Structure formats: structure tokens, C-alpha cells
Amino acid sequence: MNYDAKVTNRLKRIEGQLRAVLRMMEEDKDCKEVITQLSAIRSGVDRTIGVIVTDNLLECIKEADGDDQKMNQVVQEAINLVVKSR
């Protein structure tokens, strides 16, 4: 699977948020602020997982080329990935 720039950019943003949280912890910032940022990171990761699964699902459906059994299998695998990530 090819990962496009939108996925890479999302992960770079998350990386920056993680660094900021570490810095906040080193500076003894209020736990509410840290938790707020960690929640934003989790949300960003969840959305990134969604983008990757969606892009992969679309690619796999195109490759299934009308084969209903293969399409059902691909959809089920995508659902399992999303459930597993929770």
C-alpha cells in the first residue's frame, strides 16, 4: 500500500503533539492540560487509522474487480482492523 502525504502529515502533527506533551510534563504543567493534549493525540491517531483503513479498503475493492466473495472478505478485514484499533 502506498501512503500518501495526508497520512504522513497527520503523523508528523501527532509527533509534534507528543513532543509538546513531554515538554509540558517536564515543565510540571497542570495534569488537566496534559490530559487534554493526550486526548487530542488519541483522536488524531484514531482519525489516521480511519484514513489508512479507508484508503486500503478502496484499493482492495478496486482489486477485487467485482468478485463479491473477495469484496466481502476485504470489507470484513477492514472492519476487524477498526475494531482491533479500539
Express each pLDDT in 25-44 by its tens digit. 999 999 999 999 999 999 99
| Contact residues for 24 (Cβ-Cβ < 8 A; gap 6+) | 33, 34, 37
Task: Say how many residues make up the chain.
Answer: 86
Domain around 20:
5-85
CATH code (residue 73): 1.20.58.1000
pTM greater than 0.85: no
Asked whether 48 and 40 are in contact (CB, 8 A), the reply is no
Q: Looking at per-residue confidence, does 50 or 1 come out higher?
A: 50
Asked whether 70 and 57 are in contact (CB, 8 A), the reply is no
Residue 86, pLDDT above cutoff 80: no
Express each pLDDT in 3-29 by its tens digit. 889 999 999 999 999 999 999 999 999
Number of folded domains in the chain? 1
Asked whether 14 and 44 are in contact (CB, 8 A), the reply is yes
